[in-house]
């Protein structure tokens, strides 16, 4: 197949040269079409490489010189015109060689960009696979139902640093997490995996509240030189209350506030003083906040992609979130999550993670 392709590529410039020479011979020495042989290297420049273009350029000059003999172009009256023709054919060959060089350089650039895009796509696919493998289904608890959603950005890379998590901790409570590493690339996804693993490990050994766990995580990220900014909310759910309520304790490191849909249908943000995000420094303490969740209360943790838009303010996005929650009162947790995602539309430039919890 490669040999056949090469033959076909040579057929056009060789055929053009042959046709021009045959035409000149056929019409006789009284009609001169010698200059047309300059077409030959131009055709070769489009189809072949630099070496072949040089060869066809030399053939064109040789054909023009020989046809000049047949057409009696070396007399005193015609020598100047024939010389101009030969110079023109030679110049055409040089121009064809330059055009061929430009074409091959652009082809190499295209091939290089395609290879780079393929490598980037492979890296992004790997990162996306890693990210989705870490977003496991949250556990179903005795008094709390859970539902989670993750939607990648539809603009740009389809990966990022958003994640959610839920797992048991040694003190008998369940820890739930919603976090966001700055960035929308493979590096952000890798940093997210690192932060998630560190948090899980620290939560099993650090005795204390969510604020204590976040303090330890912040110190670990800084000591390891991770070099990323992370917003995160960490909370614990204690289901051991005698009245069917669930004790919620949370600490917020620069993350959007949790949203609460009360049993009676009232929706509100759990706006408390927000501590600094992770990855800046270790100065200052972190604060825990507490709340009792009663039966049929729904808590929604989310990342900023759910409420931030380029064409509107954050306050408007948060108001829209609360409005959708009010209209979802009485619906299942899965329907609540789906309604929230439906408000994003078909195009959004940030990842979105949602973790919803409802007291049974």
Q: What are 33-86's pLDDT values in tens digits?
A: 888 888 888 988 888 888 888 888 888 888 888 888 887 888 878 888 888 888
- Give the number of other Cβ atoms within 10 Å of residue 71's Cβ: 21
Percent of the chain with pLDDT over 90: 37
Buried b (16+ CB within 10 A) or exposed e, 138-177: beebebbbbbbbbbbbeeebbbbbbbbbbeebeeebbbbb
If pLDDT is split at 50, 70 and 90, which confidence band does 157 have?
Answer: low
Answer yes or no: are the C-beta atoms of 285 and 309 closer than 8 Å: no
Quote the mean pLDDT of the chain.
Answer: 85
**Residue 39 confidence (pLDDT):** 87
- Higher-pLDDT residue of 261, 57: 261
Query: Looking at per-residue confidence, does 253 or 3 come out higher?
Result: 253
Give 132's contacts (C-beta < 8 A, 6+ positions apart): 150
What are φ and ψ of residue 259, in 5° steps?
-115, 140
Question: What is the separation, in whole angstroms, between the first and last Cα of the chain?
Answer: 69
Q: 127 pLDDT exceeds 70?
A: no
When mean pLDDT is compared across 1-15, 107-121, 336-350, the lowest value belongs to 1-15
Which of 228-232, 250-254, 280-284, 354-358 has the least mean pLDDT? 280-284
Per residue in 321-357, pLDDT (tens digit) is: 999 999 998 899 999 999 999 877 665 567 899 999 9
What pLDDT is attached to residue 132? 66
Rg (CA), the chain: 36
Q: Do 150 and 353 contact (CB within 8 A), yes or no?
A: yes
Q: Among 163, 250, 268, which Cα is nearest to 211's?
A: 250
**Does the pLDDT at position 154 exceed 60?**
no
Residue 135 CB contacts under 8 Å (≥ 6 apart), including other chains: 148, 150, 163, 164, 353
- 69 neighbors 25 (Cβ within 8 angstroms): no
**Environment class of 80 (CB within 10 Å of its CB; exposed 0-12, middle 13-18, buried 19+):** exposed
Find the mean pLDDT for residues 289-299.
Answer: 95
Top mean-pLDDT range of 55-59, 168-172, 279-283, 336-340:
336-340
Cβ-based neighbour number of residue 314 at 10 Å: 12
Q: How far apart are CA 59 and CA 65, in angstroms?
A: 10
pLDDT-based confidence at residue 242 (cuts at 50, 70, 90): confident
Distance CA 291, CA 357 (A): 14
pLDDT band at 187 (very low <50, low <70, confident <90, very high): confident
The tokens describing 320, both together, are 């829209």
Q: 239 CB contacts (<8 Å, ≥6 apart)? A: 141, 142, 143, 144, 173, 174, 246
**What is the reported pTM?**
0.66
Residue 155 scores a pLDDT above 70: no
Q: What average pLDDT does this structure show over 300-319? A: 89
């Amino acid at each position: 197949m490669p040999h056949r392709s090469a033959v076909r590529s040579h057929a056009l410039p060789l055929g053009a040269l042959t046709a021009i020479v045959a035409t000149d011979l056929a019409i006789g020495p009284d009609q001169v079409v010698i200059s047309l042989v300059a077409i030959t290297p131009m055709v070769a420049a489009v189809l072949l490489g630099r070496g072949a273009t040089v060869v066809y350029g030399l053939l064109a000059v040789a054909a023009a010189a020989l046809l000049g003999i047949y057409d009696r172009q070396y007399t005193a009256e015609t020598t100047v015109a024939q010389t101009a023709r030969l110079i023109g054919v030679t110049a055409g060959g040089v121009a064809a060689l330059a055009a061929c060089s430009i074409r091959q350089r652009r082809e190499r650039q295209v091939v290089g960009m395609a290879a780079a895009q393929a490598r980037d796509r492979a890296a992004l696919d790997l990162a996306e696979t890693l990210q989705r493998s870490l977003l496991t289904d949250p556990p179903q608890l005795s008094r709390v139902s859970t539902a989670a959603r993750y939607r990648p950005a539809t603009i740009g890379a389809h990966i990022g640093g958003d994640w959610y998590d839920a797992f048991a901790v040694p003190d008998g409570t369940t820890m739930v997490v919603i976090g966001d590493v700055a960035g929308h690339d493979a590096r952000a996804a890798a940093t997210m995996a690192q932060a998630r693993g560190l948090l899980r490990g620290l939560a099993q050994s650090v005795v204390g509240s969510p604020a204590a766990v976040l303090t330890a995580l912040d110190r670990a990220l800084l000591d390891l030189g991770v070099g990323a900014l992370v917003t995160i909310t960490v909370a614990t759910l204690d289901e051991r209350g005698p009245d069917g309520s669930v004790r919620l304790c949370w600490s917020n490191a620069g993350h959007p506030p949790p949203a609460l849909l009360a049993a009676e249908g009232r929706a509100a943000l759990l706006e408390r003083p927000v501590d600094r995000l992770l990855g800046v420094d270790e100065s200052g303490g972190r604060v825990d906040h507490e709340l009792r969740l009663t039966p049929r209360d729904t808590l929604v943790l989310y990342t900023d992609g759910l409420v931030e838009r380029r064409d509107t303010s954050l306050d408007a996005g948060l108001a829209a979130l609360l409005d959708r929650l009010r209209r979802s009162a009485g619906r299942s947790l899965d329907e609540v999550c789906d309604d929230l995602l439906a408000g994003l539309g078909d195009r959004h430039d940030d990842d979105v993670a949602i973790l919803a919890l409802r007291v049974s």
